[in-house]
């Protein structure tokens, strides 16, 4: 990736894993307008150039904060028109995340509040540090969550638990988030990124086309009735059949070796 950023760090690990780090640790990696724009742009780039990356990890700089949501110091006194214009940037970012064909893991290394928690929820799944705290406190600030939290949280933990979290604005810790199905794994703080990279490497070594088609099919599972979802799944499956990776996978199995996938 040739893009450069002020508020993000991009590191590439083999095999084709992109680690995106939100880099405003002095403000718990809260999103000012610049970060919102850069998050939007980087996920747009992942959509435009999916073959360059096999898996993505999103995390925050430091140990105290994944992302504390929008920067409320910047928003203090902001007019309604400017607020809506700024929020439209996050709306674009969320839509780019939804459209991203590449698997995305959130590595939540501390506070994930408001829009920060919503961005984590928009990922394919979440690993969290033992020190992580998560909340959607927008109703305590005079608004409501607006970065797809009300869409993604019920899909993760059920409608009743999501209502409790969103309507109270209260925080939960990593262990409760694990119990409720919001996060997949709780990690020691110094092992979080390492654990996320271990899983990312497993994903990234699998057949890229198969992985992306499977991701799309699972995304549709919560949007369509079962028969319609299965019809979509079969269409996605059929696109993997004429690939070189399908031939390589079977050949490698019969030759008792590890397959070498090319995404072709």
In a shared domain, residues 94 and 27 = yes
200/212 same-domain check: no
Closest CA to 243 of 216, 212, 217, 219: 212
Are 17 and 140 in a shared domain?
yes
pLDDT exceeds 70 at position 207: yes
Which amino acids are annotated catalytic?
118, 138
Are 224 and 242 within one domain? yes
pLDDT of residue 192: 98
Kindly state whether residues 227 and 134 are assigned to the same domain.
no
**What pLDDT was estimated at residue 2?**
72
- State how far the Cα of 2 lies from the Cα of 242, in Å rounded to an integer: 32
Q: How many domains does the chain have?
A: 2
Instruction: Say if residues 108 and 132 touch (Cβ distance below 8 Å).
Output: yes
Last residue of a domain, one of 204, 222, 244: 204
Per-residue pLDDT tens over the stretch 83-136: 999 999 999 999 999 999 999 999 999 999 999 999 999 999 999 999 999 999
Is residue 172 a part of any domain in this protein? yes
- Does residue 260 lie in a domain region? no
List the CATH number of the domain containing 249.
Answer: 1.10.12
Query: HEC string of the chain?
Result: CCCCCCCEEEEEECCCEEEEEECCHHHCCCECHHHHHHHHHHHHHHHHCHHHCCEEEEEECCCCEEECCECHHHHCCCCHHHHHHHHHHHHHHHHHHHHCCCCEEEEECCEEECHHHHHHHHCCEEEEECCCEEECCHHHHCCCCCCCHHHHHHHHHCHHHHHHHHHHCCCEEHHHHHHCCCCCEEECHHHHHHHHHHHHHHHHCCCHHHHHHHHHHHHHHCCCCHHHHHHHHHHHHHCCCCCHHHHHHHHHHHCCCCCCCCCC
Task: Give per-residue pLDDT as tens, 237-260.
Answer: 999 999 999 999 999 999 999 999
- Tell me which residue of 76, 83, 97, 86 sits closest to 35, measured CA to CA: 86
User: How many alpha carbons fall within 13 Å on the CB side of residue 30?
Assistant: 14
Which residue segment(s) compose the domain that 49 sits in? Answer: 8-204
**132 and 226 share a domain?**
no
Kindly give the pairing relationship between strand 125-129 and strand 104-108: parallel
Report the pLDDT averaged over residues 54-71.
96
Residue 34: inside a domain: yes
Task: Write down the pLDDT at residue 1.
Answer: 65
Per-residue pLDDT of 122-171, as tens digits, reads: 999 999 999 999 999 999 999 999 999 999 999 999 999 999 999 999 99
Do 160 and 75 share a domain, yes or no?
yes
Residue 77 lies in a domain: yes
Whether residues 197 and 212 fall in one domain: no
pTM here is 0.95
The pLDDT value given to residue 4: 86
Question: Does 179 share its domain with 250?
Answer: no
State pLDDT tens for residues 45-54: 999 998 999 9
Domain identity same for 54 and 103: yes
Residue 212 and residue 194 share a domain:
no
Domain holding 116: CATH number? 3.90.226.10
Residue 3 inside a domain? The answer is no
The alpha carbon dihedral of 168, 170, 176, 178 has a sign of: positive
| pLDDT tens sequence across 13-24 | 999 999 999 999
């Amino acid at each position: 990736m040739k893009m450069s950023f002020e508020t993000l760090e991009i590191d590439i690990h083999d095999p084709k894993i992109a680690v995106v780090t939100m880099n405003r640790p002095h403000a718990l990696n809260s999103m000012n307008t610049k970060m919102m724009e850069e998050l939007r742009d980087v996920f747009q780039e992942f959509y435009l150039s999916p073959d360059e990356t096999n898996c993505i990890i999103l995390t925050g700089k430091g140990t105290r904060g994944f992302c504390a949501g929008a920067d409320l110091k910047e928003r203090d006194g902001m007019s309604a028109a400017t607020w809506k214009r700024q929020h439209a940037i996050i709306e674009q970012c969320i839509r780019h995340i939804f459209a991203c064909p590449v698997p995305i893991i959130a590595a939540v290394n501390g506070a994930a509040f408001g829009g920060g928690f919503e961005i984590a929820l928009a990922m394919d799944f979440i690993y969290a540090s033992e020190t992580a705290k998560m909340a959607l406190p927008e109703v305590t600030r005079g608004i409501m969550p607006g970065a797809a939290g009300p869409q993604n949280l019920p899909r993760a933990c059920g409608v009743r638990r999501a209502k409790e979290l969103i309507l109270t604005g209260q925080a939960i810790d990593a262990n409760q988030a694990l119990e409720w199905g919001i996060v997949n794994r709780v990690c020691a703080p110094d092992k979080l990124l390492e654990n996320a990279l271990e899983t990312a490497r497993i994903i990234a070594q699998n057949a890229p086309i198969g992985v992306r088609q499977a991701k799309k099919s699972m995304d549709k599972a919560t949007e369509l009735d079962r028969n319609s979802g299965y019809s979509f799944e079969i269409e996605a499956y059929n696109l993997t059949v004429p690939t070189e990776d399908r031939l390589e996978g079977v050949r490698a199995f019969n030759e008792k070796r590890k397959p070498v996938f090319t995404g072709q």
